[in-house]
Amino acid sequence: MSAVPRLLVALQFGLMALLALRAEPRAAGPLAVALLAAGVAVGLWALSANRPGNFFIRPLPRPGGHLVTSGPYAFVRHPMYLAVLLLCAGLAAAGDPWQWAAWSALALVLAEKARREERGLAGQHAQYAAYRRRTRAIIPFVL
- What DSSP string runs through 37-88? HHHHHHHHHHHHHS-TTS--SSSSPPTT-----SGGGGTBS-HHHHHHHHHH
CB atoms within 10 A of CB 64: 8
| Confidence category of residue 143, pLDDT binned at 50, 70, 90 | low
Q: What global pTM score does this model have?
A: 0.92
The C-alpha atoms of residue 22 and residue 13 are separated, in whole angstroms, by 14
93 neighbors 35 (Cβ within 8 angstroms): yes
pLDDT at position 16: 97
The C-alpha atoms of residue 43 and residue 38 are separated, in whole angstroms, by 8
pLDDT at position 48: 93
Higher pLDDT, 142 or 118: 118
Residue 69 region by backbone torsions, left for phi larger than 0, else alpha for psi between -120 and 50, else beta: alpha
Average pLDDT on 53-59 reads 76
- Over residues 19-45, the pLDDT tens digits come to 999 888 777 899 999 999 999 999 999
